[in-house]
Amino acid sequence: MNVWKDLESWKQRRQALGGRAVGFVPTMGALHAGHAALVERCRRENEAAVVSIFVNPTQFNDPKDLERYPRTLEEDLALLERLGADDVLTPAVETLYPQGYRFRVTTQGVEDVMEGKHRPGFFDGVLTVVLKLLQLVQPQRAYFGEKDYQQLRIVTEMVKEFFLPVDIVPCPTLREPSGLAQSSRNRLLSPEGRKKAAVLYEVLTSARDAQEARARLEGAGFAVDYVEEHWGRRFAAATLENVRLIDNVPLRDDHAALS
């Protein structure tokens, strides 16, 4: 497995890959079983599997959240080698943002709902770094988890809007036996908090409507940012033990989704 911090060296490597089918999994590290599933699928469906590990500062609107985000690079690289990744990009911030945040992708129409409303500037940061990484890797396929469903939709729309020659492949959310969605942030929870966090999934799947789900989550001790229904799914973001968790589930047939 090759690990690339210097982008000029990576560009030479990418040129050497030529016309081979390249798959790409962008991550912020602190890898878990959900990431592993993405990499394994990427490995199966492509001749070369490329992964990036980059904690992107431009998508954090809270400096403390950025500082707390778990970083486990050596552990991550060992896992990726076991999974059969061919190449891993680990660029420094100043390498991916040589002029700071002067140039960026901005979007309209998402700032009023869910993550766009509660995390100002979040999607600008996500789209900017994803565009940079897609330009560098030039994959035929890029793999994104459905846990971040709003992000997945917006990245897919950006790729179409800019005519990028890459297929965005959605991958189902991987869950712990309790139902808790796999997330890098889960490791910030105490063992007790991790058990309690599973209530998020249970409520999303069983509540009659968004209002009931919110009330039940607040009653269980979560600080709720939102519970909303869009695109045939129910979404929630809630904080437990100062750890912000997000999840979403398909609505049952007897639930009407909001547009």
Domains and CATH numbers, the chain: 2-171 (3.40.50.620), 184-250 (3.30.1300.10)
Distance CA 17, CA 47 (A): 10
Confidence of residue 233 (pLDDT cuts 50, 70, 90): very high
pLDDT at residue 161 greater than cutoff 50 = yes
Residue 202: per-residue pLDDT: 97
Instruction: Give me the mean pLDDT over the 226-246 stretch.
Output: 96
Confidence of residue 182 (pLDDT cuts 50, 70, 90): very high
The model carries a pTM of 0.93
Instruction: Give me the mean pLDDT over the 77-101 stretch.
Output: 97
Q: Which residues contact 22 (CB under 8 A, 6 or more apart)?
A: 14, 46, 47, 48, 50, 137, 138, 139, 140, 141
Instruction: Give me the mean pLDDT over the 104-110 stretch.
Output: 87
Catalytic member of 32, 35, 118, 230: 35
**What is the four-CA torsion angle of 164, 99, 9, 122, rounded to 10 degrees?**
-50
pLDDT at residue 257 greater than cutoff 90 = no
Residue 184: per-residue pLDDT: 92
- Catalytic status, residue 230: no
Instruction: Give me the mean pLDDT over the 228-235 stretch.
Output: 96
**What is the four-CA torsion angle of 84, 6, 185, 203, rounded to 10 degrees?**
-70
DSSP, res 48: E
pLDDT at residue 259 greater than cutoff 80 = no
Determine phi and psi for 192, rounding to 5 degrees.
-65, -40
**What is the four-CA torsion angle of 75, 101, 97, 158, rounded to 10 degrees?**
80
Distance CA 54, CA 69 (A): 11
DSSP, res 182: P
Instruction: Give me the mean pLDDT over the 23-36 stretch.
Output: 95
Instruction: Give me the mean pLDDT over the 87-113 stretch.
Output: 92
In the chain, % of residues over pLDDT 90: 91
Residue 111: per-residue pLDDT: 67
In the chain, % of residues over pLDDT 70: 97
Instruction: Give me the mean pLDDT over the 132-144 stretch.
Output: 98
Confidence of residue 62 (pLDDT cuts 50, 70, 90): confident
pLDDT in tens, 194-225: 999 999 999 999 999 999 999 999 999 999 99
Sign of the alpha-carbon dihedral angle for 172, 178, 181, 184: negative
- The pLDDT mean for the chain works out to 94
Residue 36: per-residue pLDDT: 97
